[in-house]
Amino acid sequence: MTLTTATPLERALVEEATKKSGLVWVRGAGPARALWHVWHEGAVLLVGDGPGEQPLPGLVAGERAEVTVRGKDKGARVVGWVADIEELAPDSPEWEAAVAELKGKRLNAPDAETMPRRWARECRVLRLVPAGSVLPVPDGSLAAEPLPTAATTRQAAPEGLPKLLLRRKDRKPRG
């Protein structure tokens, strides 16, 4: 399924923004998580749920997820869209193509040569396919409110400190 109800401009926005972003926020059946991904053949590819890989909780094949793409420069929300979740079967042609793309983008892998075999044994490879038009931009911030606390991180500077700092600047070098 593709972005059938989306306009050509929306489809282009989803593809370009997602390609350029190194990170997407994905919400399945639970809270949204920041995940690294690769855009390949019209969908987001994810690998995880194995030792040393990102967790993919709440992302179940056959269900839908909400994807929020952030801008690479400022980290601000660029676009949000709904995706159908597909789990690729290990060693299938689709899985092989996905793993080839993911392997090239996986940073700091301790086992770069044997990584595809490990992914086949221990991880899940998911494909998030856009399904519908883009999501409306929400009103207000989506940031979680900080928990109330008595802790403080800012205290007034000691009275003499500004004088000490200014005096050092005015000192003449010894010659």
Residue 95 forms part of a structural domain: yes
Average pLDDT over residues 152-159: 74
- For residue 55, the domain's CATH number is 2.30.110.10
| Position 172 in a domain | no
Q: Is 45 part of any domain?
A: yes
- Residue 30 within any structural domain of the chain: yes
Asked if residue 153 belongs to a domain, the reply is: no
Alpha-carbon distances, residue 83 vs 54, 61, 68, 153 (angstroms): 19, 11, 10, 41
Residue 69 falls inside a structural domain: yes
Establish if 87 belongs to a structural domain: yes
What's the total number of domains in the chain? 1
Beta strand residue intervals within 2-123, DSSP E: 24-27, 33-35, 38-40, 43-48, 64-70, 77-87
44-70, pLDDT tens digit by residue?
999 999 988 999 999 999 999 999 998
Enter the pTM of the model. Answer: 0.77
State the residue range of the domain holding 133. Answer: 8-138
pLDDT tens digits, residue range 73-130? 887 889 999 999 999 999 999 999 999 999 988 887 778 889 999 999 999 999 999 9
Place of tokens 């980290």: 75
Q: Is residue 144 part of a domain?
A: no
